[in-house]
Structure 1
Amino acid sequence: MTHRAEPSTPLILSGQALSLEDVLAVAEGRRRVALSDDAEFHARIERGQRFLERLLEEDGVVYGVTTGYGDACTRPVAAEDIPSLPHQLFTFHGCGMGQALEVEAARAVVLVRLVSLCQGVSGVSIELLERLTWLLEHDVMPVIPEEGSVGASGDLTPLSYLAAVLCGERDVFDDGVRRPAAEALAERGLAPYRLKPKEGLALMNGTAVMTALGVLAFARCDYLSGLATRITALSVQALAGNPYHFDAELFTAKPHPGQQRVAARLREDLHAPTTPRNSPRLQDRYSTRCAPHVIGVVEDALPWWRQFLTNELNSANDNPLIDAEAGKVMHGGHFYGGHVAFVMDSLKQAAANLADLLDRQLALLVDSRYNHGLPSNLSGASPERLALNHGYKAVQIGASAWTAEALKLTMPASVFSRSTECHNQDKVSMGTIAARDALRVLTLVEQVAAATLHAAAQGVELRSRLAAGDATPERLSVFVDRLRKDIASLGEDRALDSDLNRLCALIRHRHWSLYDAG
């Protein structure tokens, strides 16, 4: 469901702050990117490069420009070798392993690195920014292996593939097809780029990969929060549960705003605005009754996750930074991805809890001891065929397996810092591993959500047949009708893998509008 951007108003880059939604729109191919032609923006970029050139002439020593990298910073590079040093940097970092990032993620990486360099403190040329913009405009994306970064000094190994592609080396996804970068550039009449003295370091020494993956993870988790709420409402309806567990006055007593927002959504979905004096059904099991308390953790964490990621996105995070106005080079550690790592570690824990919640709801729905009169395993077969048909029995087993795997992966990556590179990088963030873990957890949560959604919609329809005259609340009825345009109900047993894969794709691409932003 990734689409090439139409020739609409492009996202103009001039060093201004971008939102997570901006990155998502570009990553998903819904928006083009253009570099600003503002004279002051161009002057700011050029001042940094000119200052760096002057510094080389006057002082002769700049880390990573006239010296080796990392612990080799005390090793001077001969003047005649300075032009080839950036090429050496991306060459020896060409050791990435594992699967390649998806094209969507690669677009996000290129944009995030470009946003950082547009801050004007990295000592790069406007030509480099134009080349990065060109990659996005033509959808020529570096093939980036996902393994090999410890998250400080930034994403060196994966970002080396971006630097190499600009120079006509390694592979690209050209409109989604993998091919040598040299071929893709030559076909368009573009000569390989020659990196200027600090540009290899500026491209590679940053947090672009973990931040890009973090933005994608944030969007998926945000949507799953709303979807888990809708699935919970369907489950409560299917189980003939107590809709008054989500009473507004009840939730004023525990004033977490995200939790209150989830409860309000459930009240609206279940059409339960006012709690009676005493509910006919007292207390449901925790997986429905406490759903606002589980989903609310995600809702209340989303704002600070957004803040951390937005700040990282709009930062200059390579090293050293160039302050042309003050006339100095600033050496530091902005490549350290601790904030992204902390977001991703906490996000994957909160997201895995959504899987656990929905898995428990599914277990109630299929069990005739707890589903209040629905057929065993929610089979839609005729009564005389029930012995032969097993409905969602295997789906519930699968959901349990996916939930267990998601929960297993919640160990925080950020606590596993390793001392690397001759103890120069002796404390690292593991931010990219945390982001990759989070994306895997989210994939598993989406699978559990797909399974529970399939079953809960079936349960709502079965409940409607049992409860003559007791109509399904309108919002849930409309949602099930929309769902049925994509996925049929289950009568006689059939293999459900194609249904579940279809649902996962719809979930991943936020197919259904769920709730207004609260």
Structure 2
Amino acid sequence: MEQQKVYWLNGTDMTLEELERIVQGVWQVGVSPEVWAKVEASRQHIERCIAEKQVVYGVTTGFGKLADVPIQQEDVARLQVNLIRSHAMGVGDSFPVDVVRALLVLRTNALVKGFSGIRRETLQLLVDCINRRVHPVIPSQGSLGASGDLAPLAHMALVLMGEGQAEYQGVVMDGAAALQKAGLQPVQLTAKEGLALINGTQAMTAVGALATLEARRLGLAADAALALTMEALGGITDAFLPELHSTRPYPEQAEVAQRILGLLSGSRLTTHQGEVRVQDAYSLRCAPQVHGASWQAVHYVEDKLAIEMNAVTDNPIVLPDGRILSGGHFHGQPMALAFDFLKLAVAEWANISERRTERLVNPQLSNLPAFLAGEAGLESGFMIIQYVAAALVSENKVLAHPASVDSIPSSANQEDHVSMGTIAARQVRQMVHNSARVVAIELIAATRALLMNRCQEQMAPATLRILEFVTEHVPFRLADSSYSAEIEKLAEVLLSTPIPMAHSSFQEGI
């Protein structure tokens, strides 16, 4: 049996692709000796400050508004245990396993940087939980996104203490039982460790990172759906020519236009300017501008995630020279703004996709059969599939309201500005999933239109491959029937598997 690859955490250069492989269980994680040396040096500074009875936030003081309350030396360990128990107040549905795994990986990656003062044995238990698939049950609601994701991360830390609940081998059980079944022992937290575990942005970053990975695939699926719809409607390809897009040189816009021209290469279904009509509707003609702008937002978020995934996000920070400084690295505003931006991008992919679906089913907007029905009147065909897309688009518009513009003071006004970044992250992932359903609907409708007219021999090789991909998951049938299960299935596939393109160059922009 081939040995599983180990990804060596160092807190400096983890990518989205690497995170995804670890989350999926393709790779395990490890910590190299030079990284352990930094972790242990950081811990020594904490031990020194306790021995010297220094006043350090969260180590020899209380938390939040209670930062001015001194803690006796004999109580510093008890302080950390109380912190975890009192902060594990999350509510609502639990995060799915992929989010929990991403959260564990990202928190560990931040701690290995050696600025948090955690002990080796505590950090090792985090690593072991990732590799042995002990997944804390973490409620998804209750974080303000500053001081970090306190409630979600406290539920994670409970399991390390042998408390709370965890999922192991598909069964939810007590944290202590999950550790025992995995051959692990809980830890007794000591000074600074509870704070080191929960003061960070890893819940919002985990959700947002997974949403961004899915958004990349969604964007490619939206481009593929556009290409199929172009053929189904006899769209004009002149609007995608590079000499046109060079005059407004947004790289992502040009990439989308190039991708669509590549997908449509060899098609005998598309048209040129003036052959049938002079211009197409905006949902076809302006798609490079709209899709391209959404890709711009994705790239912005990717840049911010590259920083956040490899950053120190707790407080206080233990510097290599021994100073322990209080600051605000736990504040999620950089990610809150990024995820709110991504929400707009995702919403627009769905908005314009739904408009193209409308053109496919509305007989006043095309020469296709009304609602793509076999016997219009007796059958309703795809009348309601457009309703579903419209409902999802409308739901996205509600979710797209920026979470980051809200702030409610907490901890007796000591923490008087918070990011709501975890809400933004949860919203954007829901919007990605909604939008995948909308794009799946366009793909299904365009495929139906092309098959009804027996257009396969006139299609471009690349779009024919996309059509075959769709029909593998959604078999063609003309009679009225429910497509709910197929829409869900295709949407899930679009988010987990890059839609097949004719050439690897069409993957540009992801």
TM-score of Structure 1 vs Structure 2, range by shorter chain: over 0.9
1:462 aligns with 2:456: no
Q: Is the 8 A contact 2:353 2:438 kept in 1?
A: yes
Q: Equivalent residue for 2:216?
A: 222
1:135 aligns with 2:122: no
Query: How many angstroms does 1:280 deviate by?
Result: 4.1
Q: Equivalent residue for 2:151?
A: 157
Identity of paired residues, percent?
A: 34
2:356 corresponds to which letter in structure 1? Answer: Q
Q: Hey, what's the Cα distance between the residues in 2 that align with 1:83 and 1:277?
A: 75
Q: Hey, what's the Cα distance between the residues in 2 that align with 1:172 and 1:460?
A: 49
Q: Hey, what's the Cα distance between the residues in 1 that align with 2:264 and 2:185?
A: 61
Q: Equivalent residue for 1:347?
A: 342
1:313 corresponds to which letter in structure 2? Answer: M
Q: Equivalent residue for 1:361?
A: 356
Q: Hey, what's the Cα distance between the residues in 2 that align with 1:280 and 1:441?
A: 37
Further displaced range: 26-35 or 60-69: 26-35
Structure 1 residues without counterparts, runs of 5 or longer: none
Written as runs of structure 1 = structure 2, the 5 A alignment for 1:282-431 is 282-324=278-320, 326-372=321-367, 374-379=368-373, 381=374, 385-431=375-421
Q: Hey, what's the Cα distance between the residues in 1 that align with 2:43 and 2:247?
A: 58
Q: 1:126-156 CA distances to partner (integer Å, 9 max, x unpaired)?
A: 2122101111111111111011111110000
1:238 to 232, 235, 241: 232
Q: Hey, what's the Cα distance between the residues in 2 that align with 1:81 and 1:209?
A: 29
Aligned residues: 503
Q: Hey, what's the Cα distance between the residues in 2 that align with 1:239 and 1:316?
A: 52
Q: Equivalent residue for 1:495?
A: 482
Q: Is the 8 A contact 1:391 1:490 kept in 2?
A: no
Q: Hey, what's the Cα distance between the residues in 1 that align with 2:406 and 2:353?
A: 30
Written as runs of structure 1 = structure 2, the 5 A alignment for 1:160-309 is 160-271=154-265, 279-309=275-305
1:433 aligns with 2:420: no
Q: 1:232-291 CA distances to partner (integer Å, 9 max, x unpaired)?
A: 111111011212221111111111000100000111112279996855431111111111
2:460 to 454, 462, 473: 473
TM-score (norm. length: structure 1): 0.94
Q: Hey, what's the Cα distance between the residues in 2 that align with 1:7 and 1:412?
A: 45
Structure 1 residues 15 and 356: alpha-carbon distance in aligned structure 2, compared to 1, 3 A threshold: closer
Q: Hey, what's the Cα distance between the residues in 2 that align with 1:187 and 1:269?
A: 51
Q: 1:138-175 CA distances to partner (integer Å, 9 max, x unpaired)?
A: 11111110111111100001100111010111111113
TM-score (norm. length: structure 2): 0.95
Q: Is the 8 A contact 1:6 1:31 kept in 2?
A: no
Query: How many angstroms does 1:201 deviate by?
Result: 0.2
Q: Is the 8 A contact 1:247 1:275 kept in 2?
A: no
| Paired residue secondary structure (1:11) | strand
Structure 1 residues 480 and 223: alpha-carbon distance in aligned structure 2, compared to 1, 3 A threshold: same
Structure 1 residues 62 and 446: alpha-carbon distance in aligned structure 2, compared to 1, 3 A threshold: same
1:19 aligns with 2:15: yes
Q: 1:198-243 CA distances to partner (integer Å, 9 max, x unpaired)?
A: 1100110100111111111111111111111110111111011212
Q: Hey, what's the Cα distance between the residues in 2 that align with 1:104 and 1:175?
A: 14
1:284 corresponds to which letter in structure 2? Answer: D
Query: How many angstroms does 1:14 deviate by?
Result: 2.9
| Paired residue secondary structure (2:497) | coil
In the TM superposition, structure 1's runs of 4+ consecutive aligned residues that sit over 3 Å from their partners are: 272-280
1:444 to 419, 423, 434: 434
2:6 corresponds to which letter in structure 1? Answer: P
2:417 corresponds to which letter in structure 1? Answer: K
2:508 to 487, 497, 517: 517
Structure 1 residues 123 and 378: alpha-carbon distance in aligned structure 2, compared to 1, 3 A threshold: same
Query: How many angstroms does 1:98 deviate by?
Result: 0.8
Structure 2 residues without counterparts, runs of 5 or longer: none
Q: Hey, what's the Cα distance between the residues in 2 that align with 1:414 and 1:7?
A: 44
Query: How many angstroms does 1:301 deviate by?
Result: 2.3
Q: Hey, what's the Cα distance between the residues in 1 that align with 2:271 and 2:181?
A: 68
Q: Is the 8 A contact 2:266 2:460 kept in 1?
A: no
Q: Is the 8 A contact 2:234 2:271 kept in 1?
A: no
State the superposition RMSD in angstroms: 1.9
